[in-house]
Structure 1
Amino acid sequence: MSKIRIMVVCGFGLGSSMVLKLKLDAVLKQHGLKADTFCADVMTAPSERYDLVFTSRELLATFQGDTRPVVAIGNFLSEQEIAEKGLLIIQQLLAHQAS
């Protein structure tokens, strides 16, 4: 399977985005999916190369107008929420890259 780049964004690109990234990595591993995940802050995020964004509901408007998918997560510690909101999108992106 090809890898996609998933950017995890918070205000400063340190604390909460790192927590979400670790939980996202765990979900990916549980489902046998591979992706390059990385953290970014809200100011530098637009200049990054990515296929998908995971962020908070509060920062969702930052990506308004972006053609790439954005997943807004309410509870960064909930692997269930991450899986429910993001797995289908990740699988679709991986399938698209593989074709």
Structure 2
Amino acid sequence: MKILAVCGFGVGSSMVLKMTLDKVVKELGIEATVENTDIATAKATDADVYFTSAELESDLEASTDKPVYAVKRYMDKNEVGARLKEYLATREEK
């Protein structure tokens, strides 16, 4: 599974989100690659799921048919984990 953490410039907040996603992925025992990137690159990069801010969510959703999840607190493992679990639940339904 490929997970993208996305922010405006692909440097600050997406890196923080990536590190939190890495921790959650490890705790859940999921086989996944987590990368961080900027919004323009994310629009051209295929991934299984995208995590970003509420401000960028609709812009990213318009450019992909894959799930996009907004996160408010990038360092909050509980929030990030809950969003990732939402995604995993939708995958299991298919």
TM range (shorter): 0.7 to 0.9
Gaps of 5+ in 2: none
Measure how far apart 1:91 and its partner are: 5.4
Is 1:88 the counterpart of 2:81? The answer is no
* CA RMSD between the two structures: 1.8
In the other structure, the counterpart of 2:75 is 77
TM-score (structure 1 length as normaliser) = 0.84
The C-alpha deviation readout for 1:7-50, integer Å capped at 9, x for no partner, is: 11001111100000000110111111121111110111111121
In the other structure, the counterpart of 1:48 is 45
1:13, 1:44 → 2: CA distance?
9
Gaps of 5+ in 1: none
For CA contacts below 8 A with separation 6 or more, give which structure has more relative contact order: 1
Q: Is the 8 A contact 2:3 2:47 kept in 1?
A: yes
Q: Is the 8 A contact 2:61 2:67 kept in 1?
A: no
TM-score (structure 2 length as normaliser) = 0.88
1:88, 1:76 → 2: CA distance?
16
Q: Is the 8 A contact 2:39 2:60 kept in 1?
A: no
1:1-99 alignment to 2 at 5 Å? 4-65=1-62, 66-90=64-88, 92-93=90-91
How many residues were matched structurally? 93
